[in-house]
C-alpha cells in the first residue's frame, strides 16, 4: 500500500470516527479534503458516499443527491450498490420516479437485492403491477436472508 493510499485511508477512517461522535463538520471537512486531494477511485467513492450519507442526515437533499451521484459515477464496485440505493431514495422522495427506478436497478445489478423491494413499491405507485411483481420475485429469488422479513414489514 502506497503512502498516499495509507494517508487517505487514515483520513477516511478519521472522518468515520468524527461522524460517530457527532462531529459532522469535522467529518465533512475530512471527506471533502479527500475528494479534493485524491485520485484513488476506491477512496474517492467511499468519501463521496460518506458525504451523501451525512447530507441525507442533514436533510440537504440536493447536496446528498450530488454526492451519491458522484459516488455512483466512480464506478467502484465496493460502494456502487450503497451509493445507488441512497441516490434512488433521494429521487424517490422527490418524486423523480424514473430516475429512482434507474438508480434502484443499478443497486440491484451491483449486487444489492434489497433494492428490489423499494423498486417494487415504486412500480406499484406508478401502476405497473407486473413490474412490481417481477421486482418482488427477484428479491425473493436472490435468497438473501433479509428479504423475507423486509417484504413482510
Can you give the CATH number for the domain in which 16 is found?
1.25.40.10
pLDDT digits (tens, 9 = 90+) for 113-137: 889 999 999 999 999 999 999 999 9
- Taking the CA atoms of residue 28, residue 42, residue 94 and residue 26 in that order, the dihedral angle to the nearest 10 degrees is -10
For helices 24-37 and 3-20, angle between their N-to-C axes, nearest 10 degrees: 160
In a domain, residue 75? The reply is yes
Question: Does residue 58 register a pLDDT over 60?
Answer: yes
Q: Assign residue 60 a region (left: φ > 0; alpha: ψ between -120 and 50; beta: otherwise).
A: beta
Q: Is 38 helix (H, G, I), strand (E, B) or coil?
A: coil
pLDDT at residue 38, as a whole number: 77
In a domain, residue 101? The reply is yes
- Name which of 53, 63, 126 is nearest 85 in CA terms: 53
List, as one string, the DSSP characters of 105-152: HHHHHTT-GGGHHHHHHHHHHTT-HHHHHHHHHHHHHTT-TTHHHHHH
Residue 100 belongs to what domain range? 3-111
In a domain, residue 134? The reply is no
In a domain, residue 118? The reply is no
CB 67 within 8 A of CB 79: no
Place of cell 418482488: 136
pLDDT digits (tens, 9 = 90+) for 1-36: 454 554 766 666 666 566 665 777 888 888 888 888
Number of folded domains in the chain?
1
Amino acid at each position: 500500500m502506497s503512502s498516499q493510499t495509507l494517508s487517505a485511508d487514515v483520513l477516511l477512517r478519521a472522518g468515520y470516527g468524527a461522524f460517530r461522535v457527532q462531529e459532522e463538520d469535522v467529518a465533512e471537512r475530512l471527506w471533502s479534503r479527500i475528494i479534493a486531494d485524491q485520485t484513488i477511485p476506491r477512496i474517492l467513492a467511499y468519501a463521496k458516499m460518506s458525504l451523501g450519507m451525512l447530507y441525507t442526515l442533514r436533510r440537504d437533499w440536493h447536496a446528498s443527491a450530488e454526492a451519491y451521484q458522484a459516488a455512483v459515477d466512480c464506478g467502484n464496485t465496493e460502494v456502487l450498490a450503497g451509493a445507488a440505493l441512497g441516490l434512488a431514495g433521494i429521487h424517490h422522495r422527490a418524486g423523480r420516479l424514473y430516475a429512482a427506478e434507474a438508480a434502484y436497478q443499478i443497486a440491484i445489478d451491483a449486487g444489492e437485492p434489497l433494492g428490489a423491494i423499494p423498486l417494487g413499491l415504486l412500480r406499484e405507485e406508478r401502476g405497473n403491477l407486473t413490474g412490481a411483481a417481477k421486482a418482488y420475485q427477484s428479491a425473493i429469488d436472490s435468497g438473501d436472508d433479509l428479504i423475507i422479513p423486509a417484504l413482510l414489514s
